[in-house]
């Protein structure tokens, strides 16, 4: 069912951050930084996959994501909802159910046998496709998924995520240059504010995380030397 009412954008961001903190999907560790997919260090890590195990939070966030996309892109803007392998698949299914639209998913690479397909499910030429993922860091991984969708003759100009890092200024330009608009619920800045308000971490840890968020490249460079 499509949600008929919803909070404003700021309240959605605050509540989304609160829910991620509540299920301990957020990890801060400045003394032993995490390693990102890029190989660079970070005092922050988020695991949105945990959301699938919390039905009430999962349902609320999917309502938020659905109404955010409809508010920003239009109520009749899409014909197909595609999930990116693997984390995006369950969330795409939940959004598709709410929007009463077909659901497909996109493999990271062809499976190597059978039809050697990257698109699973039925995607038709000319369909307007929304790509759903759990999160985006710098937007790079979205480009391959979007290209695979466009190769079918379908259109893909929007991607929606639960969590957007929001600290690398090149992200939205990278996506924009590829003709993609990003929709999201909350960022690290929202999570930091809610973590501080709720006393989820000690102040020294929060201060180190804030330093990272304000200048992530400098923070990473200092810890690689």
Extended strands (E) in the chain? 26-28, 34-35, 41-42, 44-46, 80-84, 103-106, 119-120, 128-136, 155-164, 181-187
Residue 182: per-residue pLDDT: 97
pTM value?
0.93
Task: Specify the CATH number for the domain of residue 68.
Answer: 3.40.50.2020
Going residue by residue through the chain (225 aa), what tens digit of pLDDT does each one get? 566 668 999 999 999 999 999 999 999 998 899 987 777 889 999 999 999 999 999 999 999 999 999 999 999 999 999 999 999 999 999 999 999 999 999 999 887 665 668 999 999 999 999 999 999 988 888 999 999 999 999 999 999 999 999 998 899 999 999 999 999 999 999 999 999 999 999 999 999 999 999 999 999 888 875
Please report whether residue 145 resides in a domain: yes
Please report whether residue 44 resides in a domain: yes
Residue 4: per-residue pLDDT: 63
| Count of CB atoms situated within 10 Å of the CB of 81 | 28
Q: Number of structural domains, the chain?
A: 1
Range of the domain at 62: 9-210
Please report whether residue 85 resides in a domain: yes
Q: How far apart are CA 157 and CA 134, in angstroms?
A: 17
Dihedral sign of CA atoms 55, 119, 101, 74 in order: positive
Q: How far apart are CA 188 and CA 202, in angstroms?
A: 17
Please report whether residue 130 resides in a domain: yes
Residue 113: per-residue pLDDT: 66
Please report whether residue 146 resides in a domain: yes
Residue 116: per-residue pLDDT: 66
Q: How far apart are CA 32 and CA 14, in angstroms?
A: 27
In three-state secondary structure terms, 82 is strand
């Amino acid at each position: 069912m499509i949600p008929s009412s919803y909070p404003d954008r700021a309240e959605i961001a605050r509540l989304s951050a609160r829910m991620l903190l509540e299920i301990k999907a957020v990890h801060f560790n400045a003394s032993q930084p995490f390693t990102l997919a890029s190989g660079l260090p970070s005092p922050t890590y988020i695991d949105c996959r945990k959301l699938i195990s919390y039905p009430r939070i999962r349902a609320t966030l999917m309502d938020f994501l659905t109404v955010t996309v409809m508010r920003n892109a239009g109520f009749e803007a899409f014909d197909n909802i595609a999930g990116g392998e693997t984390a995006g698949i369950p969330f795409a299914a939940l959004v598709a159910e709410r929007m009463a639209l077909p659901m497909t998913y996109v493999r990271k690479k062809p499976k190597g046998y059978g039809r050697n397909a990257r698109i699973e499910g039925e995607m038709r030429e000319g369909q307007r496709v929304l790509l759903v993922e759990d999160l985006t860091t710098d937007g790079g991984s979205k480009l391959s998924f979007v290209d695979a969708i466009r190769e079918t003759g379908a259109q893909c100009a929007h991607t929606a995520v639960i969590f957007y890092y929001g600290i690398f200024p090149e992200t939205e330009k990278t996506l924009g240059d590829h003709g993609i608009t990003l929709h999201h619920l909350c960022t690290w800045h929202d999570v930091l504010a809610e973590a501080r308000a709720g006393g989820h971490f000690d102040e020294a840890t929060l201060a180190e995380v804030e330093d990272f968020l304000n200048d992530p490249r400098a923070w990473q460079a200092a810890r690689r030397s």
